[in-house]
Amino acid sequence: MNASPTPAPHSPHASVNPSASAQTLSRAAQFRALLTSPQLEFIMEAHNGVSARIVEEAGFKGIWGSGLTLSAQYGVRDNNEASWTQVVDMLDFMADASKLPILLDGDTGYGNFNNFRRLIHKLEQRSIAGVCIEDKIFPKTNSFIDGERQPLADVDEFCGKIKAGKDSQSDPDFSIVARVEALISGWGMDEALRRAEAYRAAGADAILIHSKRSKPDEILEFAKEWAGRSPLVIVPTKYYSTPTDVFRRAGINLVIWANHLLRAAIPAMQAVAREIHASETLVEIEDRVAPVDEIFRLQGAAEYSAAERRYFAPSRPAPRAVVLAASRGDGLETLTLERPKVMLPIGGKPLLRWLVDAFKKESVNDITVVAGYKAEAIDIPGLRKVLNPDYATSGELVSLAAAADVLDSDVVITYGDLLFRQYILQDLLQQDAEICIVVDSSQAAGTGVDLAWCSAPDDRGLFGQQVTLRHIGNAAGKDTSHAASAPLGAAAGRWIGMLSVRGAGRQHVATALAHLRAQSDFAQLGVPALLNALTEAGHPVGVLYVHGHWRGVNDLEDFRLAGEFAHAQRPIGTGSAHD
């Protein structure tokens, strides 16, 4: 518990309960409540509107408008190179973005007593809760740069500045915190205490005692000698390893975490910039950084989203999704004793969860899963689950038929054992073709099933090419759309197990599915049979080429590789990622 401080002059609300509702207190009163709280309080650095909102969402009760990081976000030094008007303009955005009280790091007050009076007037106009000024000479230099060589302000002159500030404020709750630099400058403890007492007597609402030592010894000595005469504030940037309970026992009132959001952002931005420069593509990082929607959210974009729906309404309604997930998984029997393949953990979450998350990122929220083996183990919320009771003896078309009612809407149909980069689904949803499949051209030389013969090979340098499917089959396939069953030549790639159906394509698929159900071998047919039936009936099936960036899970080796693939999708900053 902190020692009970004696209320400083001009502190008519020093006993305000810090737990009082923010709706009944001004921001200045909220900050004063933090200064006089009976418990240790904390505020966090912010340097623009987005970081201010992040501080608020993290649960902090106040914001430190750091002089170092405010100047750094302008790309200038912490030497008053950013003008006070530029700083105040940024504070205006920060105050709009967050309801928290803001304490500005006001350096030396940006000049003499008159500059300081005008600063306070402008801060109050923008609902800033308080300002901290340090007893150095204008223009200042950051305390951690040759602090011992930096001259201190004359005590009487600095006291006059404090008095001028207190006399000019219109809100009695507005706080002026006096920062003592005597320890930084090597003047010793007696001088630090002398200056602090003079500033308290001049009307400062709190004292910030600063140190650049890696241990808190001189801060704790100061706190002991100060004995709670007025609220005491510290900035433990250098002595960061000190347990926080030490500050509580010492009677400290407020701790400022002074620059850590900007410092956390810098290495992430550097890493992304280097990676994009080296790879000349966004593919490697897009799924590992914050989505654009998160920026919209932090900007308070609810109104923007409503306007976007009004003025940029999509020409197509949001599609639905069908995930074919009835099988146990051949080659994975040792892992699927109690759960189906789609519930195997990949990179820390079930395989099906990766698919669901990918769909939801594209606003595809109506998702049907066709289950079969161990269907009861599929417990991911928000899904519609239908059953294929004959999963052990039937193929994919029986499962698709179980969810045929979704064909009354645009739909994406996918195998349940897929992992893929988000852009693949994004691009598929943007295709104009009424029926479109995804083909991986990097597997054109494959010898397995689901090889795709197309009207043209993948020309990776040509965008907008209209390519259609000719046939899907194995390496010995024939072009059954030709009466002579002519050889197909080289395959263009491998179908990955994902297609979209929209518009008139829905009826084409429903009709082809109905015709196939009349065949005696329907129970053994897979989706490729449906696609071939569509092409034979003269319905174009468009092709979206990709070049890798997906993974199927068909055996134990695929399962291992899928874990590596998922690890590469982890957000930057949560660990290394290699694809």
Q: What is the CATH number of the domain that holds 443?
A: 3.90.550.10
Per-residue model confidence (pLDDT) at position 67: 93
Structural domain that includes position 152 = 67-89+106-253
Query: Which residues, listed in sequence order, are joined to residue 440 by a DSSP beta bridge?
Result: 494, 546
- Whether the CB-CB separation of 2 and 251 falls below 8 Å is answered with yes
Give yes or no: residues 240 and 361 share one domain.
no
SS3 state at 79: coil
Kindly state whether residue 353 falls inside one of the protein's structural domains: yes
Give yes or no: residues 230 and 364 share one domain.
no
CA–CA distance, 34 with 126 (Å, rounded to integer) = 20
Report the DSSP pairing between strands 550-552 and 418-420: antiparallel
Q: What percent of the chain has pLDDT over 90?
A: 69
Kindly state whether residue 243 falls inside one of the protein's structural domains: yes
- Phi, psi (deg, nearest 5) at residue 544: -105, 115
Per-residue model confidence (pLDDT) at position 318: 81
Give yes or no: residues 79 and 217 share one domain.
yes
CA–CA distance, 196 with 158 (Å, rounded to integer) = 11
Q: Interior CA angle at 307 toward 301 and 310, to 5°? A: 145
Give yes or no: residues 205 and 351 share one domain.
no
* Domain end (from 212, 231, 253): 253
Count of the separate structural domains present in the chain:
2
SS3 state at 406: helix
Active site (catalytic) residues: 78
CA–CA distance, 235 with 214 (Å, rounded to integer) = 12
Kindly state whether residue 510 falls inside one of the protein's structural domains: yes
Number of H helices, E strands in the chain: 18, 21
- Whether the CB-CB separation of 433 and 561 falls below 8 Å is answered with no
Give yes or no: residues 126 and 222 share one domain.
yes
CA–CA distance, 352 with 574 (Å, rounded to integer) = 22
Confidence (pTM): 0.68
CA distances from 64 to 23, 29, 170 (A): 21, 16, 22
Per-residue model confidence (pLDDT) at position 316: 62
CATH number at residue 187: 3.20.20.60
Per-residue model confidence (pLDDT) at position 16: 39
What are the pLDDT tens digits along the chain (579 aa)? Answer: 444 343 333 333 333 344 444 458 999 999 999 999 999 999 999 999 999 999 999 999 999 999 999 999 999 988 888 898 999 999 999 999 999 999 999 999 999 999 999 999 999 999 999 999 999 886 655 555 454 556 899 999 999 999 999 999 999 999 999 999 999 888 899 999 999 999 999 999 999 999 989 999 999 999 999 999 999 999 999 999 999 999 999 999 999 999 999 999 999 999 999 999 999 999 889 889 998 888 888 888 777 767 777 776 555 678 999 999 998 877 888 898 899 999 999 988 999 999 999 999 999 999 999 999 999 999 998 899 999 999 999 999 999 999 999 989 999 999 999 999 999 999 999 999 999 999 999 987 766 789 999 999 998 765 667 899 999 988 654 444 433 355 678 899 999 999 999 999 999 999 999 999 999 999 999 999 999 999 999 999 999 999 999 998 888 888 888 888 887 766 665 544 333
Kindly state whether residue 335 falls inside one of the protein's structural domains: yes
- Phi, psi (deg, nearest 5) at residue 71: -70, -40
Q: Report the 10 Å Cβ neighbour count for 99.
A: 14
Q: Element (H or E) spanning 499, and its range?
A: strand 493-501
Q: Where are the beta strands (DSSP E) in 292-357?
A: 320-325, 345-346, 349-350
Kindly state whether residue 287 falls inside one of the protein's structural domains: no
Per-residue model confidence (pLDDT) at position 212: 87
CA distances from 220 to 150, 224, 249 (A): 24, 6, 10
Report the DSSP pairing between strands 411-415 and 320-325: parallel
Report the DSSP pairing between strands 435-440 and 550-552: unpaired
Give yes or no: residues 328 and 209 share one domain.
no
- Phi, psi (deg, nearest 5) at residue 5: -75, 150
Per-residue model confidence (pLDDT) at position 149: 56
Per-residue model confidence (pLDDT) at position 225: 97
Kindly state whether residue 306 falls inside one of the protein's structural domains: no
SS3 state at 473: strand
CA–CA distance, 186 with 170 (Å, rounded to integer) = 37
CA–CA distance, 231 with 475 (Å, rounded to integer) = 80
Give yes or no: residues 135 and 230 share one domain.
yes
Q: Give the up-direction half-sphere exposure of residue 174: CA atoms within 13 A in the CB hemisphere.
A: 22
CA–CA distance, 576 with 572 (Å, rounded to integer) = 8
Give yes or no: residues 249 and 324 share one domain.
no
Kindly state whether residue 46 falls inside one of the protein's structural domains: no
| 276 phi-psi bin (left φ>0, alpha ψ -120 to 50, beta other) | alpha
Give yes or no: residues 524 and 434 share one domain.
yes
* Domain end (from 233, 253, 273): 253
Cα-Cα-Cα-Cα dihedral sign, residues 83, 84, 87, 93 = negative
Closest CA to 21 of 13, 12, 33, 10: 33
Q: Which two tokens stand for residue 536?
A: 């034979």
Q: CA 171 from chain center: how many Å?
A: 37
Measured N-to-C along each axis, helices 113-125 and 84-97 cross at an angle, to the nearest 10 degrees, of 20
- Phi, psi (deg, nearest 5) at residue 474: -95, -175
CA–CA distance, 179 with 185 (Å, rounded to integer) = 13
Give yes or no: residues 227 and 347 share one domain.
no
CA–CA distance, 228 with 221 (Å, rounded to integer) = 13
Measured N-to-C along each axis, helices 527-536 and 505-517 cross at an angle, to the nearest 10 degrees, of 110
CA–CA distance, 118 with 110 (Å, rounded to integer) = 10
- Whether the CB-CB separation of 449 and 473 falls below 8 Å is answered with yes
Give yes or no: residues 507 and 405 share one domain.
yes
* Domain end (from 253, 273, 301): 253
Give yes or no: residues 328 and 244 share one domain.
no
3-state helix, strand, coil in the chain (%, to 5): 40, 15, 45
Kindly state whether residue 576 falls inside one of the protein's structural domains: no
